[in-house]
Structure formats: C-alpha cells, structure tokens
Amino acid sequence: MKFVDEVEITVKAGNGGSGSASFRREKFIPYGGPDGGDGGRGGDVVLMGDRGLNTLVDFRHQRHFEAPKGESGRGRQQYGKSGQDIVIKVPTGTEVYDLETDEKLADITQHEQKLVVAKGGDGGLGNMHFKSSVNRAPKQFTSGKPGQQRTLKLELKVLADVGLLGFPNAGKSTFVDAVSQAKPKIADYPFTTLYPALGVVKIDAETSFVVADIPGVIEGAAEGAGLGIQFLKHLQRTGLLLHLIELPAYEGMPSPVEQFHQLSDELVKFSEQLQDKTRWLVFTKADITVPEEARAMAEEYVKAIGWQGPYYVISSVARQGLESLIKDIAEYLSEAKFNSQN
C-alpha cells in the first residue's frame, strides 16, 4: 500500500431545508390558520480519528465530500427531516488545516476523536411563525441557510513514542522487526523503507511503547533530497529519537562520524524542535566482529563525535544488546510520562 501523508479535500455541509407556506384546511374548521412547518437542518461533515488507519491513501480516490441537505417543511406543522451527518475517518495523528485561512483547525490524536469541519445550514421557518394580530394569514416563509464549505489540508504525522533516525541501510527496519511484531520490508540496499512503519514493543502485560521506522535520511533532506524530507516531520511527535549508525559503513556511504554530523545538521535545518529532542546513539550490526572489538569501534566513534549522551552497541540479527536497550527505553518513557503528569 502506498503511503500518503498529505492531501487536500473539499467538504460541503448540507443546506437547510426551506420552510413551508401552508394553511390548515379541514372540514368544519372555516378559519384554518397557517400551519407551515420549518425546514430540516443540513447535515454536518465530521472527521473522526481511527487508529486502524495509517495512511491517507483513500483520499486519492475521493477528494470531495458533501452531506445531505435538510428536507423542506410541510403543512400541518410538520418539520422537515434533518440531513444526516457524514463521518470521514482519518488516521490518528492527522492535523487539519483550512487552506483559505491557513488556520490549524485541530490535531486529531485520539481514537474516535471527532471534529466538525463543516456545519450544516439551519432550516428555514414556516409561515406559522409569522402569524400575528394584524396578519392572520401570512404567506411568507424563509429559505434554509446554505451549509458551510471548506477546502482542507490533511497532514499525517505518525504517532510513536520512539522514532528511528539514520541513513539508509542503518538497520532501522531490522531493529523494528527484532523488537516488535511489525514486519517491515528488509533488504541489503538503501531506501528499502518507503513509508513509516509502526511497531509495538511489549515489555509485559501492562507496559509497551510504539516505535516508528522512518525512511532513511540523506544529506540535503531538509531541502528535498531523497525520501527524508517527506518524513522528517513524523519524528516531531516522538518522545525519544534513536540515532542508528552502522558500525561498518555501507559501501559508498559517509563514515559513521560524517553520518552523525550530516544528520544532525538536517535536524537543525528542518526544525529546532527536533534538535532539542532527547537522542540516543545506537551502533548497529555489531555481529560483524567480536563484542570487544565492536565496543572499541563504537567508543572510538563516540570520542570522535564528541558525544556526551547514552549510546548502545547492538545487533538486531544476533539480538545482542537489545534487552538492555529496550529496558532503558521503557524506563525513560515511563519517567517522562510521570514528569509530564506532575
């Protein structure tokens, strides 16, 4: 399935039904008065979050949505039926913008969270409302109000606790596959991952976190190079970034030290918010040599980078160092959640 994370749609709420100009006409009631009912209200257009969706691809086939209009009023003070609301499901993590005003309408982050993006028009008044002591047979009524129409931009930013940052072929997909139930596409060439994949890492029955495998970022991504610019924004929601660097650099790729600095520069160019996020270094593919040599290589890179934060040496294939890393991530996220609530 193709990943689509940004789309424009047009929504049109239903128009209100017109009021009725009717008069009571019954046998043995010679002076029947006005009895025209009101028109029904037009239907609303509603967006609703759905955690079962992870892409906006469905909107490639339908870009225009229109709710039913309200029915007109009838005689005998019968009100017109209101138009039914239409509910459009979007992935959780979708931001909604009004393109005409550039206003951000909402950030849909919860399952079944609803947002009315276009309100239906009110129904018109029937002539029974216009009866008075000086006008006993009013013929006037009002038409229904038009429903609201908007052009919206939907922008999806995946919801994950942990985001994986790294050059193509750094081992991100293999890591997700090793620690979760997700099954991302994996191969020994760059740009295997073409769209974000989410994996749930379960620690125990009550503890879990979501990790996002983001397509590899290359130098110049913030200016549009490669696939990274399309997905750097997905890292903005994560609580922790794991910067994955393979110990033996992929042939033709920059050295691990150069990779670190290039990607750090891309984060700053794209968003200062990303620069300030907590980031841990994770050296991957440690199984290419014995553990002691892999650790020595990592320490050498850490020293050359000037890194002061946590770093780990792992092999997703051989499952080396994964248990310690997962345990530390769970503890960090739990502490961060506790601090945010107090």
Contact between residue 88 and residue 113 where contact means Cβ atoms under 8 Å apart = no
Question: Is there a binding annotation on residue 317?
Answer: yes
Distance of CA 65 to the CA centre of its chain: 19
Question: Is there a binding annotation on residue 168?
Answer: yes
Question: Is there a binding annotation on residue 250?
Answer: no
Question: Is there a binding annotation on residue 316?
Answer: yes
Task: Indicate the residue type of 130.
Answer: F
Q: At what angle do helices 322-340 and 172-179 cross, to 10 degrees?
A: 80
Question: Is there a binding annotation on residue 92?
Answer: no
Question: Is there a binding annotation on residue 29?
Answer: no
Reference 94, options 152, 184, 34, 158; nearest CA is: 158
Question: Is there a binding annotation on residue 239?
Answer: no
Question: Is there a binding annotation on residue 287?
Answer: yes
Question: Is there a binding annotation on residue 213?
Answer: yes
For residues 184 and 192, give the distance between their C-alpha atoms in angstroms, rounded to a whole number: 9
Question: Is there a binding annotation on residue 167?
Answer: yes
The pair phi, psi for residue 12, each rounded to 5°, is -135, 120
Question: Is there a binding annotation on residue 169?
Answer: yes
Bridge partners (DSSP) listed for residue 45: 86, 118
Contact between residue 223 and residue 229 where contact means Cβ atoms under 8 Å apart = yes
Question: Is there a binding annotation on residue 216?
Answer: yes
Question: Is there a binding annotation on residue 286?
Answer: yes
Question: Is there a binding annotation on residue 174?
Answer: no
For residues 233 and 115, give the distance between their C-alpha atoms in angstroms, rounded to a whole number: 23
Question: Is there a binding annotation on residue 315?
Answer: yes
Question: Is there a binding annotation on residue 85?
Answer: no
Q: Which residues are annotated as a binding site for Mg(2+)?
A: 173, 193
Q: Which residues are annotated as a binding site for GTP?
A: 166-173, 191-195, 213-216, 284-287, 315-317
Q: Which residues are annotated as a binding site?
A: 166-173, 191-195, 213-216, 284-287, 315-317
